[in-house]
Structure 1
């Protein structure tokens, strides 16, 4: 549950959070093919995306959070 302070900051944070195209996310992820991003979307495995009309966009923060989770998964795997 979010508190009032978090709810008040959310519109400002979202306004300052750039939207990225699949091509930009591909570059951000070191050249992951755009086709892989599409497959991940259909399998609900990749970063959370937005559909704006016919366009797919990713919030930079969503991609960064997804990468953090992947880092955590890798670290946990290495510890086992």
Structure 2
């Protein structure tokens, strides 16, 4: 596996969420962009980081 591709298990660990949550995001289409390689799902680290940036919430200024 190349350095810039990770599997669902690595994504769950990277995000600090349970693996079933990764599968749920995949089935709903709400997670980071993914790549199908045969029967395997892979994620580019750059796509994951971009997805995280897009879903960041700015703190409210009071």
How many residues align? The count is: 60
Alpha-carbon deviations, 1:5-53, whole Å to 9, x = none? xxxxxxxxxxx861101111111112x1111111111111000101101
Query: Is 1:52 matched up with 2:8?
Result: no
Q: How far apart are the structure 1 equivalents of 2:23 and 2:38?
A: 16
Unaligned runs of 5+ in 2: none
**Structure 1 regions of 5+ residues with no counterpart?**
1-15
Q: Of the two, which has the highest radius of gyration?
A: 1
TM-score by length of 1: 0.67
Relative contact order (alpha carbons < 8 A, sep ≥ 6): 1 or 2 greater?
2
Segments ≥4 residues shifted beyond 4 Å: none
Q: Which residue of 2 aligns with 1:20?
A: 6
Between Structure 1 and Structure 2, the one with more helix by share is 1
